[in-house]
Amino acid sequence: MSLKSKRRRKSDRARPRTIGGFFLRGLVTLLPVFLTLVVFGLLFQMVGKYVTGPINGAIYWSLEGNEWGWNALDKLGIDPLEPDYIREDLLSANLRQLTTERGMSDPFVRNMIESQRAQNMSFFRDLDKLAINSTMLRKDVARVVHPVYGILISLVLVLWLGWIVGSFLGRRTVQQLDRMMHVIPVVKSIYPYTKQLVEFFFTEKNMAFDTVVSIPYPSPGIWSIAFVTGDCLKTVRESTGKELITVFVPSSPMPMTGYTIFLERQRVIPLPISVDEALRITMTGGVLVPPQELVSKAAEYGVDDSEDDSEDELSSTEE
């Protein structure tokens, strides 16, 4: 049987022939894209809620909640004391009745409202006591001071924090904070793993891994992914009289932890994958496998098909 016909037969077997098969293939195609968008969407929501949101809130409060901020708003063309921002339900009972009888445009009513506001005026401005519609005021302020400023300030703060942490005092502060997080009950059972995950994705990894291999670990017949990190210890090598190498076996789903093993060089199987690909396999428990290592793609990459061919010949003989 020619190689072309063998590949055609394999592709025929891989092609779905039922509605369920087509549905499953479509699901497998769409899920990675969908999950990626969901992850980024959740990340943006988290940043907006816990980072840029509070920063924008502080910016708007600095403009709406004190005398200096009102002076800045006046220069931006916004006067919180304008009649459009009056919230009638926050007025006193007498003023609400007077407003109902005479209307908001009546000069006497306006003077009474200004008199009430003057009694509650101080450096820190309480919008409720001043009968100001905070929602309407915030909308106009946000139109002038766009929330994008919160994103820019967040970036500046992150850069500034990174610069501070690089100093001696910053490093000592981070070390003290790290020790504290490791002793707080409940927190100490979560913090180390979240720290490892963040460091894995966002720190510069200087892992001295030479080669990705597979080794018989933890027992013969069971194969694990490992990284060759160098030669064996001199004492161990001289005591055994064998050519040993040092390998690191990462653990799932945290490949930053694992085991260091001394193994005979001839017992390892080199793998044609990169370190990043091997780390993805470990983190996902074998779910994310490089395309060239997928068993279903073996024919496309010139892998020996003798076993499958023998099965095909056996089935054809039985027929």
Structure tokens given for 261? 């093993």
Amino acid identity for residue 119 in this structure = Q
Is the separation of the CB atoms in 189 and 181 below 8 Å? no
Question: Helix 93-102 to helix 107-119 angle, to the nearest 10 degrees?
Answer: 160
Give me the CATH code for the 211-303 domain, please.
Answer: 2.30.30
| pLDDT in the model for residue 307 | 46
Average pLDDT across the chain, whole number: 79
| pLDDT in the model for residue 69 | 92
| pLDDT in the model for residue 256 | 76
CA distance 319 to 313: 10
| pLDDT in the model for residue 21 | 72
Structure tokens given for 76? 């931006």
Query: pLDDT tens digits, residue range 177-229?
Result: 888 888 888 888 888 877 777 776 666 555 456 688 999 988 888 999 999 88
Question: Helix 3-14 to helix 306-318 angle, to the nearest 10 degrees?
Answer: 80
CA distance 44 to 147: 14
Structure tokens given for 137? 């005021």
CA angle 123, 142, 159 (to 5 degrees): 90
134-167 exposure pattern, b = at least 16 Cβ within 10 A, e = fewer: beebbebbeeebeeeebbebbeeeeeeeeeeeee
CA distance 245 to 262: 6
Q: Could you tell me the residue ranges of all domains in the chain?
A: 211-303
CA distance 201 to 279: 11
Spatial CB neighbours of 284, under 8 Å, sequence gap ≥ 6 = 253
The model's pTM: 0.50
User: Which residues of the chain fall below pLDDT 70?
Assistant: 1-17, 200-210, 296-319
CA 187 to chain centre: 20
